[in-house]
Structure 1
Amino acid sequence: MLGVDGMDPTILRRLIAEGKAPNLAKLAADGAFQDLETSNPPQSPVAWSNFVTGLDPGGHGIYDFVHRDPLTYLPISSATPPPGDPGTSVKLFGYNLPVSAGDEIINNRSGTPWWDVLDGAGVDVEVYRIPGNYPVTESDAKTLSGMGTVDMRGGYGQYTWITDTSPVAPPGHGLKADVQLVTVEDFDLDGKGDTVKAILKGPPDLFHLEPGQMPGESDYLTVPVTVSIDPDADVAMVKVGESVAVLQEGEWTDWMPVSFDALPAGAMALGGSVRFYAKELRPGFKLYASPVNLAADAPPQAISTPDDFATELADVLEGQYYTQGMPEETNALKDGTFDDDDYAKQVALVQHDAGGMLDVALARFDRGDATFFYLSDIDLQCHMLWRHGDPKEPSAPRHPAWEATSAAKHALDIEHYYQHVDSLVGRVRQELPPETLLIVMSDHGFQPFTRKVHLNAWLRDHGYLTLKDGKTTGRLTTGDVDWSKTQAYALGFNSLYLNVAGREAEGIVSAGDVARVEAAITADLLGYRDPADQKTVVRRVDRGADIYHGARLADAPDLVIGYDRGYGHSDESTLGEIVEAEIEDNTSRWSGNHLMAPEVVPGVVLASRPILGEAHNLTDVTATLLAWYGLAPLPEMRGKSFITP
């Protein structure tokens, strides 16, 4: 099974009709190709959790990329439960040494993954880079975590930008980089400025932090970085820790191992790996360092089951591979430190990693096995490159982030990434035994993202959210909100919560008034029109209690907002910020999206066997996978098989 994040049925049908996806065309002709109903909301961690467990969010508990803590109104990652007991420690010789571990950090997803059902029935299972499985869940199957896996700093991909010129963030966008301003100095006293010194940050220095304390910028372990620039050529030597590499301007290094000492004398060394890119060596200096990935050959924390599966893959691949959950460097492209050419080079490195790992997966596959392999080729590229031209509607108006020079060169890039996936499908079909069932699926499709909605500002302007002291802007978590007069707030990309008495810390909406407030907000949102052209902004609003089922229903957002084509939630509102405007053009390079009403972004399912019936969803793929091995879905699973074994 190939899971192709973000593959869109409309785009794929066009490419098949134009003869540009011959391998996917043959797969469809030999078996079937249908739209696949996505999750509600159509967010990757939600959709893939539906597929992994066969449940909807009410059962598995993943409702959004971002959840909220009702006791603090803080946004929290949906990957892990709200913070619990941080443990206790004693201070000894300047270090905080733990004496109790506190609550274990576990995966927030409930339900039984399909690979555990198959493994329990004696099927050999391998699962590569499955989204939403970090922290990894205990399993006897071989699994490697994907989307959601952290870098060495414990985040989701903060790169380092070492430069002699302070970068300027695009309007309305804060830089995602750890920016280090440096000067090219004459450290060797030869009269030429040819040396740069900087640092690379790794994991938090937990032995100097109190339990539960969030690290500040100076609370990370570091290793030194030294760059020696050739005085006569555009070439430099980069030394990080004990690793050394030489690269020319415009080139990337290979993976360079780094080690961070959590205790003196190497008593606890944490291994990572980094790549550098020489954007410019002279006359200016711009050096990119990737997020420090967990060392694949010796991960400092579990990213696979069993623990040594990640190491086993590193041995076979003869080196490091991307372990961070979303390896494409979208942050640098959004920041403007990368241009589209830089981004394309980095994506090619990700593709090289994935291609090598796919070859390993194919070589390990035997008759009767079950293998899932995740491909990120399309999703993040659609997010970042849609602004060059709409691949679904080539005659559509230009995106607000359209750039003439770049569009002329990169207008067909999304199409080319589809063709790359098509070539991989051809490789897979060539290697597999002919009787093998091959399913190609996606979690959702894509649409343009041209207008961003500040939902908390909309709630303010419609009387559902009130700020203190006559303020019009602020944050949910900084004392700016008058909760005694606030009925609702937004956190997450599609989630809206009522300020319910007895549930939220300062809730005011009584249980008897919930239905009335929900109905009023729903009616107002469905009547909301874009002041620029009077288009419908919100296509649907669903009550969480109406559309979800299962033991985690109490965690659901009260309302799930389904935006119409072209509209989406702003980053500001997603994290609880209230800005002046209700709605504005999206001028970010993050220009394609799928965080809309599910019916406007269906995914795809293609199979090498005929598909029975139509209108299938992600949980049906789960049931089909189990049925192929003669197994019934678990009683709580919601899907039905669509292929006859």
Structure 2
Amino acid sequence: MKREASTQKLLVLGVDGMDPKIARKFMAEGIMPNLQKFLKKGSAREDMGHLGSVPTITPPCWTTLATGAYPGTHGITCFWRQSPHSLDAVVYNMDSRNCEAEQLWNVTAAAGIKTLVWHWPGSAWPPTSDSPNLSVVDGTQPGSVNMGVAQLDFEKIIVANEEITEVQYAPKLERPAGVGCIISDLGAITEEEDKEEATDMLEIWYGEAAMKGAEIREYIMGPENMEMVIEAIPHYDLVNSPLKDAEGWAAAPADAREFTILTSDGIVRRPALILKNADGIYDRVAVYKNKKAEKPIVELEVGKMVSGIVDDINKDGVLKPACRTMRVLELSADAKAVKMWISNALDIAQDKLWHPKELLTDIVENVGPVPPVSLVGGEDAYLIENIFEPAWDSYSQWQAKSLNHLIKNRGFQVVFSHLHNIDCAGHMFFHLAKNLERWSYTDEKVNQEFIRRFYIQTDKYIGEFLHLLDEDWTVLLVSDHGLLVGEEFPPQIGEYGGINIQVMQELGYTVMKQDENGKNLKEVDWEKTTAVQSRSNYIYINLKGRDAHGIVDPADKYELERKIMSDLYSYRYKGQRVIGLAMRNKDAVVLGANGPQCGDIFFTVDEGYSRLHGDGLSTTDGAFDTSVMPIFVAAGKGIKENFTTVRTIRQVDIAPTIATLVGVRMPAQCEGAPIYQILTEEF
């Protein structure tokens, strides 16, 4: 029986990492008025939450939201999937071709509904439907649109003063390729060894290296390898420049001062002038292509961030127009010292993740080029306040304008959208919002205020779409998971970037080779290793006949699993139990965490030792009124107004609710049920 649609227009407003528990706290403080308006117009549970899938990791959860299927069914069980060739290696997994469940947007497109999927990091790219009704933008990583493929140059801090005698360039520290969800160079993690053009990820992506090769071996040996430690360290290029009176310029005032900015990995010079205002006060910087130029590339006032700056970047000898954001951070009144930031540079013409490609041209011409976000900050509160947060605010507003432009001018009827601002901030500094011994020199109150700022930023973003409720749209606000402020620094188990060593080594299951001094090498001794813990929630038995170096007889597997689970429950860290749940693959079906893409044992870390998210259940709470619970609020046509339901809402229920609202069939592998209680139509 074909159902009648309750709405003709529906927007899924996805905000990665948005936690309803802390959002309710901020609503009570009066700093999220748009969320309050949205809630009053629609329906939700009293806690505004829903039960997320496990693992509570970005790709599985967004894929569940898109398919209505559990991770064990759709097969996207982490950022990475286990390599078929080795237990200590993973391969990149944010590839729609790995998804074994039908995405709802394919259903709506096939039903003749014009559908847009915008930067959805869960089985969206490449498009898996050839319907002309389906448009897809990115989805290969969660950060920001084009972040993984269009970056031509890295972020830089420029310091200039009279004491510096020559221009100096210090490139950034490199991040390990397999760590963290902030992925800015997909070429580094999807390339095949013989590919020479590794910097152009998409040429390799379509060669299917993402699925067939590109093994990553990341060993979590100790705290220095953990994401929260790595992300806490600011990463940027540093440029030091002399500062002197301007000379040799075609159009420089007599009292101007000059310094030099280096771009393009340090090989291109951009001269800059410090200028006076009408009152004779030095208050702005003008950046030029060269001293002969009559007009600057951009003119910057102190303290004001400017985005949409287009300049040529020299990439491997080829000049490419790129978009940057810049800000003058400090400028002395006498123009003897200046400090400024320039963002990474994104190729403005990089359209390989736009389907159809004309969408990028439309956005660039009518909204502006894709603005880069910042990835600096961490334990440096100055950088978060002056760069990281305002850069994300600029990007969030660009995205809101882009979506509204496409909705208004392209006639999209169903839109699936995703924003990563809160989650990116979480991975950067949320762990600093409680005074832990490792970061005793940071101020938890300062970092708590930064969390508030990102929720205020998100409320502003939500406000950009409230007008749709007056235009007969239905809007669903969802997230994949929330984010914890950790109660304790976690042990090395449950980190999702690779193979975790500490706990499994202490328990005697993973054995590492050692040097002559007895220090662990980054190499597993497979002749002595019976099991390894890989990714956030999985333990694999080193099984004969299945694994390349297997030593465990299949007949002994069941008893070994029993012993491992018993030892995990008995394991103590700082006197407390670490493991919350441990179960065999076949038993994890009750959580939807079973199947060939999951380990032999599925486990969760207990509340108290959880990281931001991923290693625990969505019911896990943390400090500063945070939780891993994802948000769910719905409003508009077909949704009851100012209504609170007591129903337990699960992540698998959201896709069938959308299908019911827009009057299409359920996705083929859907395992959830519509949230009947919030719908105006009775079933």
TM-score interval, normalised by the smaller of the two chains? 0.7 to 0.9
Distance 1:487 1:525, change over 3 A: same
User: 1:451: which partner in 2?
Assistant: 489
2:618 is the counterpart of 1:598: yes
User: 1:560: which partner in 2?
Assistant: 602
Mapping for residues 288-307 of structure 1, pairs under 5 Å: 288-295=341-348, 298-299=349-350, 301-307=351-357
Distance 1:612 1:65, change over 3 A: same
Which AA in structure 1 matches 2:138? Answer: S
8 Å contact kept, 1:138–1:305: no
Distance 1:69 1:279, change over 3 A: farther
Q: Which runs of 5+ in 2 are unaligned?
A: 1-11, 160-167, 176-222, 249-255, 277-281, 494-500, 621-627
User: 1:196: which partner in 2?
Assistant: 260
Q: CA deviation at 1:566?
A: 3.9
Q: CA deviation at 1:460?
A: 1.2
User: 1:209: which partner in 2?
Assistant: none
Work out the number of aligned pairs and report it: 553
- Give the CA RMSD over aligned residues: 4.1
2:77 is the counterpart of 1:63: yes
Give the TM-score of the pair, scaled to structure 1: 0.73
CA distance in 1, matches of 2:613, 2:593: 30
Does the residue aligned with 2:503 lie in a helix, a strand or coil? helix
User: 1:78: which partner in 2?
Assistant: 93
User: 1:492: which partner in 2?
Assistant: 535
CA distance in 2, matches of 1:356, 1:607: 21
Distance 1:270 1:560, change over 3 A: farther
User: 1:528: which partner in 2?
Assistant: 571
CA distance in 2, matches of 1:484, 1:150: 43
User: 1:508: which partner in 2?
Assistant: 551
2:423 is the counterpart of 1:379: yes
Which AA in structure 1 matches 2:103? Answer: P
Does the residue aligned with 1:275 lie in a helix, a strand or coil? strand
Which AA in structure 2 matches 1:340? Answer: E
Which AA in structure 1 matches 2:369? Answer: Q
Which AA in structure 2 matches 1:177? Answer: H
Mapping for residues 240-639 of structure 1, pairs under 5 Å: 244-248=297-301, 250-259=303-312, 271-279=321-329, 287-295=340-348, 298-299=349-350, 301-317=351-367, 319-322=368-371, 327=373, 329-334=374-379, 338-361=383-406, 363-364=408-409, 369-386=413-430, 389=433, 398-400=435-437, 407=444, 411-433=448-470, 435-449=472-486, 450-455=488-493, 456-469=501-514, 474=520, 476=522, 480-531=523-574, 534-547=575-588, 553-568=595-610, 592-593=612-613, 595-600=615-620, 601-608=628-635, 609-610=639-640, 614-639=647-672
Distance 1:256 1:425, change over 3 A: closer
8 Å contact kept, 1:382–1:593: no
> What are the Cα deviations for residues 358-378 of structure 1, in whole angstroms up to 9, with x where unaligned?
432553486x92223323343
2:63 is the counterpart of 1:49: yes
Distance 1:30 1:522, change over 3 A: same
8 Å contact kept, 2:55–2:616: yes
8 Å contact kept, 1:66–1:78: yes
Q: CA deviation at 1:234?
A: 6.3
8 Å contact kept, 2:125–2:136: no
CA distance in 2, matches of 1:263, 1:342: 28
CA distance in 2, matches of 1:515, 1:158: 50
8 Å contact kept, 1:383–1:593: no
Which AA in structure 1 matches 2:57? Answer: Q
Does the residue aligned with 1:115 lie in a helix, a strand or coil? helix
CA distance in 1, matches of 2:261, 2:418: 38
CA distance in 2, matches of 1:451, 1:263: 42
Which AA in structure 2 matches 1:200? Answer: S
Q: CA deviation at 1:316?
A: 2.0
Identify which of 238, 244, 247 aligns with 2:287. Answer: 238
CA distance in 2, matches of 1:69, 1:254: 41
Q: CA deviation at 1:615?
A: 1.9
2:182 is the counterpart of 1:145: no
Distance 1:76 1:124, change over 3 A: same
User: 2:119: which partner in 1?
Assistant: 129
Q: Percent identity?
A: 21
CA distance in 1, matches of 2:71, 2:136: 22
Give the TM-score of the pair, scaled to structure 2: 0.70
Distance 1:260 1:400, change over 3 A: same
CA distance in 1, matches of 2:564, 2:338: 52
CA distance in 2, matches of 1:183, 1:458: 48
Distance 1:176 1:63, change over 3 A: farther
CA distance in 2, matches of 1:363, 1:340: 34
Identify which of 242, 249, 263 aligns with 1:184. Answer: 242
Which AA in structure 2 matches 1:7? Answer: M
Which AA in structure 2 matches 1:59? Answer: T
8 Å contact kept, 2:239–2:261: no
Does the residue aligned with 1:598 lie in a helix, a strand or coil? coil
8 Å contact kept, 2:152–2:345: no
Distance 1:65 1:115, change over 3 A: same
Q: CA deviation at 1:542?
A: 4.0
Q: CA deviation at 1:356?
A: 2.0
8 Å contact kept, 2:313–2:320: yes
Q: CA deviation at 1:63?
A: 1.3
CA distance in 2, matches of 1:278, 1:505: 55
8 Å contact kept, 2:137–2:353: yes
Q: CA deviation at 1:49?
A: 1.0
Which AA in structure 2 matches 1:5? Answer: D
Higher alpha-carbon deviation: 45-54 or 148-157? 148-157
> What are the Cα deviations for residues 463-514 of structure 1, in whole angstroms up to 9, with x where unaligned?
11112246765464xxx32111112223333333332334433222333333
Which AA in structure 2 matches 1:63? Answer: T
CA distance in 1, matches of 2:41, 2:440: 41
CA distance in 2, matches of 1:371, 1:3: 10
Q: CA deviation at 1:182?
A: 4.5
Which AA in structure 2 matches 1:538? Answer: I
8 Å contact kept, 2:509–2:530: yes
Higher alpha-carbon deviation: 552-561 or 507-516? 552-561
CA distance in 2, matches of 1:509, 1:335: 47
